[in-house]
Amino acid sequence: MNLPNKLTLLRAILVPFFILFFYLEQVPGNYIIAFVIFAVASFTDFLDGHIARKQGLVTTFGKFLDPLADKVLVVSALCCFTEKGLMSAIPLIIIVAREFMVSGLRLVTANEGVVVAAGIWGKLKTAFTMVAIVAILLFCCAGVTEKFEVISDVLIWISTALTVISGGVYLKGYWKYIDTDK
């Protein structure tokens, strides 16, 4: 297993630890630990892709696990935030629906031998969503979630808008593989 795949696997392994420390309020600094875990996991997303492309280490395993690890990390954080009342369930539902749609699209196009690569909108959506999550975690660390509720809401809704845009771009770009019943 190459280094990029190990980093991707590390990201997937870190998710339960993020969740654990996010909820362990009896542990002093639990939000700080959860923040550090999420930040490290997010950085592995950048690092694994950078190394894989630069050193020609792109693998089928990486193509499979990388987007899955990203989705699990992000959706886990958003679910935690929703349960704690730090965000509405509506953006979460939209984000998860888009992820199902893109995953389904990838399955359909794979049957045609076409790979749906991450485009600029998808990468922008992922990066901004991770930034929004980091910001919310920082508010949790500072214990000021109510004071910064508007900022958190704006960040999440921008992330949701980017999610809808990127989903629309993917759908438009690969519609011919779905619309075959003409």
Q: Does position 182 have pLDDT exceeding 70, yes or no?
A: no
- If one counts every other C-beta atom within 10 angstroms of the C-beta of residue 150, the result is 8
User: What radius of gyration, in Å, describes the C-alpha atoms of the chain?
Assistant: 17
Q: Are 137 and 31 in contact (CB under 8 A)?
A: yes
Q: How far apart are CA 111 and CA 177, in angstroms?
A: 9
Structural tokens at position 40 = 């490290």
Q: How far apart are CA 159 and CA 142, in angstroms?
A: 22
The DSSP code sequence of 96-130 is HHHHHHHHHHHHHHHTTT------HHHHHHHHHHH
For 113-169, what is each residue's pLDDT tens digit?
887 777 899 889 988 998 999 999 999 999 887 778 889 999 999 999 999 999 999
- In sequence order, the 6+-apart residues with CB closer than 8 A to the CB of 19 are 76, 80
For 41-95, what is each residue's pLDDT tens digit?
999 988 998 999 899 998 888 888 998 999 999 999 999 999 999 999 999 999 9
For 18-40, what is each residue's pLDDT tens digit?
999 999 999 999 999 999 999 99
Q: Which domains does the chain have, with CATH numbers?
A: 3-177 (1.20.120.1760)
Nearest to 156 by CA among 144, 145, 143: 145
Q: Give the pLDDT confidence score for residue 109 in this predicted structure.
A: 87
Binning pLDDT at 50, 70 and 90, where does residue 108 land? confident
Helix (H) or strand (E) holding 90: helix 89-110
Helix (H) or strand (E) holding 23: helix 3-23
Q: How far apart are CA 145 and CA 138, in angstroms?
A: 9
